[in-house]
Amino acid sequence: EYLAEYLEAECASRDASRKASLLRRCALPQAKTFDGYDWTSVSWPEGFGRADLLSLSFLGRREDLVLMGDVGTGKTHMLEAICSLCCQQMRPARFFTASSLVMRLRRARDAGSLDRELAQLAKADILGIDELGFLPLDTDGARLLFQVISESYERQSLVITTNLEFARWGAV
């Protein structure tokens, strides 16, 4: 009985350490949750709802989400909470603003390690890209970002936040 309790405590400790490690690696500005989240401004596409989001069922299907809306509607909060929930379920997640991801990719390319950086990004079950279109990207930055997005297609889920409607995405 003592040994069983000890092993359970050891497993719980290891799980907690792994969750903390995944959360650090995710690099969230703040580890937000859905507790107290204001769902009033959220509209859902047909066939997808709050339960689907909270269950993270879209990850298994490697589906992507676009959180679109005006400033202050909770898009970044929702993205951080999704990433945090992912880490709590011991699934790797990564969080970037679009501009910080492009800068990271440029540094990796200039150092000759772009392939390694892309491989690291591909290990995450979910890749969160915040503020797409908030800051303009030059052609080189847009190509690097496109490379990440195209390589993630059907391999991992992307969650993108933006205040731009789809018709203006070509300008990004």
3-state secondary structure labels for all residues of 13-44: HHHHHHHHHHHHHHCCCCCCCCCCCCCCCCCC
With cut-offs at 50, 70 and 90, classify the pLDDT of residue 12. Answer: confident
Tell me which of 42-51, 104-113, 115-124, 161-170 is least confident.
161-170
Alpha carbon distance 133, 142 (integer Å): 10
State mean pLDDT over 3-17.
88
CA–CA distance, 12 with 130 (Å, rounded to integer) = 32
Work out the mean pLDDT of the chain and round it to a whole number: 93
Q: Which amino acid is at 22?
A: L
> Is pLDDT of 114 > 80?
yes
pLDDT tens sequence across 45-89: 999 999 999 999 999 999 999 999 988 899 999 999 999 999 999
Q: For 25-44, write each residue's pLDDT tens digit.
A: 999 998 899 999 999 889 99
Q: What is the pLDDT of residue 170?
A: 73
Q: What's the rounded Cα separation, in Å, for the pair 116 and 137?
A: 23
Residue type, 154: E
- Residue 67, C-beta contacts closer than 8 angstroms, at least 6 positions apart: 75, 78, 79, 159, 160, 161, 162
CA distance 142 to 149: 10
Residue 4 pLDDT exceeds 90: no
- Among 3.40.50.300, 3.30.360.10, 1.20.120.400, 3.40.50.720, name the CATH number for the domain at 2-31+50-171: 3.40.50.300
